[in-house]
């Protein structure tokens, strides 16, 4: 899809700079990035002070596709600021680091066995098998009897590793082992673009991650799927959905490391064997087949519970939901009810097709 006239497509880049500690230096960096036609959307410290007092700062920068990323590096260098890293970043990384860290700590407190995945998420890294070949940017963290091997495309800093060690310490203090595991009901998906996601049952411990998903979605996506364009969900409503109250079953789709919820499907029992479906997929993850997988998982659960019809609603004129159900193997019909388009499909046909 082409961008509206006058609006550039942008790519998110991760940039590390060595910023000396003197007044006005950060402002100079922002000025030179802006003059290059780019936009800093996040900044935080990832490195400890060097001998000359410079500190490694990590920037997430939106770079218009008409601008070569190398031009940004040259512009930063022209201001006398060393640039030590330039790699593509994912839109999911725009979430607030402090909020993400708190969510990961809560996940570890609820399930100490999730500590390795939580550490990998915090460092934007992947878990590496102990017998895997060595890589220039592989690091092994050891805290007590725990050992976690991590890898990513750029070096780890001492500041990042100390934060990760603190998360492992939390798991150790709970007095439980932390093996890397995949619950038996998890489903690992290979999406259309080659990335991976995990489908699993939702729980109340996911509330912060689902709230973060809601905040990251565009107002249009929030309105279409949550019925509310505001960036915040009512905490009581969110807890009720994730706890399975009022006959609700919820499934979340997470990033491969488990640290970000990128999709959510809910089923609510109705009378007469009908269940109501709601599906939301984060904007940056749409178009990869994740929504189709969420619907198929929801259909499996509905059939297991004995439902015979699945229904969903969206704004009138929005045919995306109908197409999504068809891609999942359903045969939906639609009707208008006021300003809403109500779509329903029999599950008997889905069972035969499955």
pTM of the shown model = 0.51
pLDDT at residue 353 above 50? no
What DSSP string describes 107-140? Answer: HHHH-GGGHHHHHHHHTT-EE--TTSPP-TTEEE
Write out pLDDT tens, residues 155-165. Answer: 887 778 888 88
244 vs 278, higher pLDDT: 278
Residue 54's CATH number: 3.30.70.260
Q: What is the pLDDT of residue 121?
A: 82
Write out pLDDT tens, residues 134-153. Answer: 677 888 887 666 678 888 88
Last residue of a domain, one of 69, 89, 109: 89
Give the confidence band of 195 by pLDDT, cuts at 50, 70, 90.
confident
Q: Are residues 61 and 161 in the same domain?
A: no
Q: Are residues 143 and 197 in the same domain?
A: no
50: number of CA atoms within 13 Å, CB side? 12
Q: Are 111 and 86 in contact (CB under 8 A)?
A: no
Token pair belonging to 267: 């089923």
Q: Are residues 201 and 292 in the same domain?
A: yes
Q: Are residues 114 and 153 in the same domain?
A: yes
145 vs 72, higher pLDDT: 72
pLDDT at residue 354 above 50? no
In the chain, % of residues over pLDDT 70:
87
Task: Compute the Cα dihedral for 61, 65, 70, 75 and give only its sign.
Answer: negative
Position 4 in a domain: no
**Structural domain count, the chain:** 3
What DSSP string describes 159-207? Answer: HHHHHHHHHHHHHHHTT--------TT-EEEE-TTS-EEEEEE--GGGH
- pLDDT, average across residues 209-220: 86
Q: Are residues 146 and 288 in the same domain?
A: no
Give the confidence band of 351 by pLDDT, cuts at 50, 70, 90.
very low
Q: Are residues 85 and 109 in the same domain?
A: no
Q: What is the pLDDT of residue 91?
A: 64
Q: What is the pLDDT of residue 178?
A: 39
* Residue 133 C-alpha from the chain's centroid: 28
- pLDDT, average across residues 293-319: 85
Last residue of a domain, one of 147, 173, 199: 173
β pairing state of 10-19 and 83-88: antiparallel
């Amino acid at each position: 899809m082409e961008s509206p006239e006058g609006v550039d497509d942008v790519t998110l880049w991760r940039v590390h700079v060595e910023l000396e500690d003197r007044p006005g230096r950060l402002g100079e960096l922002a000025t030179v990035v802006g003059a290059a036609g780019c936009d800093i959307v996040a900044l935080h410290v990832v490195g400890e002070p060097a001998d000359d007092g410079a500190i490694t700062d990590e920037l997430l920068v939106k770079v218009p596709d008409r601008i070569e990323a190398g031009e940004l590096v040259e512009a930063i260098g022209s201001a006398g600021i060393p640039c030590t890293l330039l790699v593509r970043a994912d839109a999911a990384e725009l979430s607030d680091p402090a909020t993400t860290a708190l969510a990961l700590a809560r996940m570890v407190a609820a399930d100490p066995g999730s500590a390795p995945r939580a550490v990998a998420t915090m460092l934007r890294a992947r878990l590496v098998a102990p017998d895997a070949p060595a890589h220039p940017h592989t690091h092994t963290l050891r805290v007590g009897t725990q050992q976690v091997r991590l890898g990513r495309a750029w070096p780890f800093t001492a500041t990042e590793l100390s934060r990760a060690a603190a998360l492992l310490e939390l798991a150790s203090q709970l007095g439980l082992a932390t093996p890397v595991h995949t619950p038996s009901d998890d489903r690992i998906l290979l999406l259309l673009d080659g990335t991976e996601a995990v489908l699993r049952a939702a729980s109340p411990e996911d509330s912060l991650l689902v709230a973060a998903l809601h905040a990251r979605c565009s107002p249009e996506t929030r309105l279409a799927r949550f019925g509310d364009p505001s960036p915040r969900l009512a905490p009581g409503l969110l807890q009720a959905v994730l706890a399975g109250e009022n006959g609700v079953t919820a499934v979340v789709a997470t990033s491969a490391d488990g640290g970000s919820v990128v999709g959510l499907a809910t089923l609510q029992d109705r009378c007469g064997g009908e269940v109501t479906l709601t599906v939301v997929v984060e904007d940056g993850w749409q178009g990869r087949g994740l929504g189709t997988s969420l619907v198929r998982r929801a259909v499996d659960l509905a059939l297991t519970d004995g439902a015979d019809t699945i229904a969903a609603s969206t704004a009138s004129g929005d045919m995306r939901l109908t197409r999504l159900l068809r891609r999942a193997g359903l045969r939906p019909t639609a009707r208008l009810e006021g300003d809403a388009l109500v779509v329903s499909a029999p599950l008997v046909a889905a069972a035969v097709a499955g």
